[in-house]
Structure 1
Amino acid sequence: MTTNPALDHALRQLKLPAFAHHYARIAEEAATANLSYDRYLQALAEQELTQRDIARQRRCLHQAGFPVVKEFADFDWSAIPSLNRARVLALAQGSYLERAETVLFVGNPGLGKTHLATALGVTAARQGHRVRFATAAGLTAELIQAQNEQRLTKVLAQFLKYRLLIVDELGFLPLSQTGAHLLFQFCSTIHERVSLIVTTNLRFAEWTQLFGSESLTAALLDRLTARAHILEFIGQSYRLRQRRHQMDSHPDPAADDFGAPPQAPTN
Structure 2
Amino acid sequence: MRHDPAGAALIIMLRSLKMPGMAQAVQDLLDQGAPAFEAAMPILSQLLKAEMAEREVRSIAYHMKAARFPAYKDLSAFDFAASEMREALVRQLHRCEFLDGAENVVLIGGPGTGKSHVATALGIQAIEHHRKRRLRPIGSGLALW
Partner of 2:70: 67
The counterpart of 1:122, out of the listed 124, 128, 132, is: 124
**Which digits, 9 at most, give the CA deviation of each residue in 1:155-185, with x for residues without a partner?**
xxxxxxxxxx924xxxxxxxxxxxxxxxxxx
Query: CA separation in 2, counterparts of 1:108 and 1:127?
Result: 30
- The reply to whether residue 51 of structure 1 matches residue 88 of structure 2 is no
Say if 1:69 and 1:118, in contact at 8 Å, map to a contact too. yes
Rate the CA distance shift 1:133–1:69 in 2: closer, same or farther, 3 A: farther
Correspondence 1:211-222 to 2 at 5 A: none
Residue 132 of structure 1 and its aligned partner are, at CA, apart by 2.2
Compare the two structures and name the one with the higher helix fraction.
2
Percent identity, please.
30
Residue 50 of structure 1 and its aligned partner are, at CA, apart by 0.5
Correspondence 1:18-167 to 2 at 5 A: 36-80=39-83, 82-128=84-130, 129=132, 130-135=134-139, 166-167=142-143
User: What amino acid is the match of 1:133?
Assistant: P
The farther-off stretch of 59-68 and 35-44 is 35-44
Partner of 2:4: none
Residue 44 of structure 1 and its aligned partner are, at CA, apart by 1.0
Residues paired across the two proteins, number? 107
User: What amino acid is the match of 2:80?
Assistant: W
Say if 2:80 and 2:86, in contact at 8 Å, map to a contact too. no
Query: CA separation in 1, counterparts of 2:69 and 2:114?
Result: 15
Gaps of 5+ in 1: 1-15, 17-34, 137-164, 168-193, 196-267
Query: CA separation in 1, counterparts of 2:94 and 2:103?
Result: 13
Gaps of 5+ in 2: 1-18, 20-37
Residue 96 of structure 1 and its aligned partner are, at CA, apart by 0.9
Moved over 3 A (4+): none
User: What amino acid is the match of 2:100?
Assistant: E
**Aligned to 1:107, what secondary structure does the other structure show?**
coil
**Aligned to 2:119, what secondary structure does the other structure show?**
helix
TM-score, structure 2 as length reference: 0.64
The farther-off stretch of 121-130 and 60-69 is 121-130
- CA root-mean-square deviation: 2.4
Residue 127 of structure 1 and its aligned partner are, at CA, apart by 2.2
Q: Which has the larger radius of gyration?
A: 1
